Amino acid sequence: MPEYSQEQLWKLFETLPQELKDALLSEDTANTIREISQRHGIKEEELPRFAALVGDILMGLLPPEEFPKTLERESKIDEEKAEKISREVNRFILFPVKDSLAEFYKEIRFAPGGRLIRTEAREEKRVEEAKEETKKEERPPQADIYREPIE
């Protein structure tokens, strides 16, 4: 997964619907992440990365269907446990904000029990726009050669 600068992440955050901003900053979301990690034996040192992956989903950077594989790869969790964790994240964190998440994904469908069926990414355009804005702002200011000096 590509790394984003703090500035790019803030620009993405500012474009989020209020419901997703609230979910990202919510104490309830943090508690749910901690409870899921405790239930499934995620080590304390792996908790920040787990929380970051959930945040990436809420920001539209990580499609929810890629979450189990990414979690398995980055946290060295077996496939079965990653699927169980993913189902709980989908059920307790993503499902309540699925209407807002639909803005970033063309289609997002959940099966009973919180299992994600399918999503199609729509976030690429939004990420590219944020990168372009950052590039535009990085240009150093230059003296205006067309401006006449004040006497």
How many Å is the Cα radius of gyration of the chain?
A: 19
Identify the residue with better confidence: 140 or 68. 68
Give the pLDDT of residue 24. 93
Ranges 4-18, 53-67, 125-139: which has the least confidence? 125-139
Give the pLDDT of residue 110. 46
- 33-59: average pLDDT: 92
Ranges 13-27, 32-46, 73-87, 95-109: which has the least confidence? 95-109
Tell me the C-alpha distance between 93 and 114, whole Å: 10
Tell me the C-alpha distance between 2 and 69, whole Å: 15
26-29 long-range contacts, CB within 8 A, separation 24+: 29/54, 29/93
Helix (H, G, I), strand (E, B) or coil at 121: strand
Helix (H, G, I), strand (E, B) or coil at 32: helix
Mean pLDDT of the chain: 79
What would the two tokens of residue 61 be? 């950077």
pLDDT grade for 31, boundaries at 50, 70 and 90: very high
Contacts with 73 (C-beta within 8 Å, 6 or more apart), sequence order: none
pLDDT in tens, 91-145: 999 999 988 887 766 644 444 444 444 444 444 555 666 666 656 555 566 776 7
Identify the residue with better confidence: 63 or 129. 63
Tell the burial category of 46 from Cβ atoms under 10 Å away from its Cβ (0-12, 13-18, 19+).
Answer: middle
- 146-151: average pLDDT: 73
Could you tell me the CA-to-CA distances from 22 to 19, 105, 149 in Å, in that order?
5, 19, 50
- 49-78: average pLDDT: 90
Percent of the chain scored above 90 by pLDDT? 39
